[in-house]
Structure 1
């Protein structure tokens, strides 16, 4: 895997995915340019795969966040903070030699992408937020919102066990976090189970420090996004318990030029639930 150095010297890895497979140089030289995809978690970026076949339309540049996947563990653990990870994305852009780029962020990675947009608006030509986290702009998702969304799945065979665990988690009385996994997929089949296993966070310290004090400055980020003139696509699954459509719709209002797409029947990983629909939406937006 190719690597680059973060501003603090940490060696970070990334992969280039395209169909047909080009060299990294060819991928960067393409007319449309690559899409830089920031994973959530923090987790090994392999769970993104080729985003349901999106790599057939645009090359994908997928970094492993520091301390995850093939990237090195930093000397300073405080650099796991979300706002510090923005510097790693900028270092990747410089390393790739891209004057401007299309940036995609999934889940918690959308918080990184959102803060990048606020800090470096002139270095983006498109912004895509998939199942986005909303902590960067200070949007809280209440238990009632999640409960109402969860109840839409009441006819699923796994629902009783998963809903009981969800209630316990939201009430702070414990709860099996693995039991709620079906809520994050549009269908809970063998493929979804395999994907869930592949997407487990692989660095507990990175997860714990991602949102440490100072990681988010919601008022400043909102103010910066009010002048963000780059087109934004927000795509969320109809059943996404992590990023409920109503909350993502509220996030969309913070951008002057935003399109919200709710993918029917999908959960938190819409490229797994319906790859053709997902790819068609992103291909139309990114060109």
Structure 2
């Protein structure tokens, strides 16, 4: 049976008409996509969550059905937390159940701190960090090295090293990035390439830098951390033990920051848990939503 997906719009506080999709039925679960800048459709039904909840799949600024703002700073993760509050009002909800993936976990945590009491349940899926992209590069390298005998490994490592060195011709960035895609999954399959390729095609080349520019200056870091820790979110934090993109360190950091949180690491999964471990993923999320 096919799932009905409908398109919707809401008005942000600057007057922009932003988009979101509705998928499934039941109580709303607002879902934020990562990337940053990925089309939200890559989340799909989140491993079957759409059979239990109505997924509100949010288009970030300048992605999907949401327009590119004249002021690019509206794409900072801190600014997009304001869009989330406008969406809450549009949906007529007193409190949100909120799920965020990857980079969007920054937006979700900022929103929870900026609007105390507006989040009922928070789920952070393979977060990149709590204030910025905060991977433990040694851990990520160790996870990647587990695939040393895979035929795709040499090309993926070479592409990653070239990208990390910088100065790459913009026309080659997409090609090199696609070579590194096997690191997204704990157990690589060729059909996963299409799952990665399509969502990122429309992302502006400037999006990533602007999104992460919402991170605090070094002298503001401690105050921002204290503010996040005091928000009372008590999230479920999910990580993949085979995540060759961000590893598990940011998830552990998020769980340590938020008192009363629960950390679950699915040992063999990568960065998109709902693809590789749908039963375990949905089970953990639904249990948290019902708690």
TM-score by length of 2: 0.87
Which of 16, 30, 39 is matched with 1:36 structurally? 30
Does the 8 A contact of 1:143 with 1:170 survive in 2? no
In structure 2, list runs of 5 or more residues that go unmatched.
1-6
Question: Which residue does 2:53 correspond to in 1?
Answer: 58
List per-residue Cα deviations over 1:245-264 (Å, max 9, x = no partner): 13321221000011111113
Give the direction of change, closer, same or farther, for the CA distance of 1:79–1:138 in structure 2 (3 Å limit). Answer: closer
Moved more, 119-128 or 164-173: 164-173
Q: By how many angstroms is 1:8 displaced?
A: 0.5
In the TM superposition, 1:239-258 aligns within 5 A as 239-258=242-261
Give the direction of change, closer, same or farther, for the CA distance of 1:141–1:131 in structure 2 (3 Å limit). Answer: same
Matched, 1:13 2:23: no
In the TM superposition, 1:1-287 aligns within 5 A as 1-18=7-24, 22=25, 27=26, 33-41=27-35, 42-134=37-129, 136-138=130-132, 140-172=134-166, 176-200=176-200, 202-204=202-204, 205-212=206-213, 214-216=214-216, 218-287=221-290
Distance 2:123 2:231 in 1: 13
List per-residue Cα deviations over 1:153-196 (Å, max 9, x = no partner): 22323222212323344455858222111000123224311211
Moved more, 50-59 or 170-179: 170-179
Q: By how many angstroms is 1:150 displaced?
A: 0.9
In structure 1, list runs of 5 or more residues that go unmatched.
28-32
Distance 1:262 1:98 in 2: 31
Give the direction of change, closer, same or farther, for the CA distance of 1:59–1:50 in structure 2 (3 Å limit). Answer: same
Give the direction of change, closer, same or farther, for the CA distance of 1:6–1:201 in structure 2 (3 Å limit). Answer: farther
Does the 8 A contact of 1:228 with 1:256 survive in 2? no
Q: By how many angstroms is 1:139 displaced?
A: 6.4
Distance 2:79 2:95 in 1: 20
Distance 2:162 2:242 in 1: 20
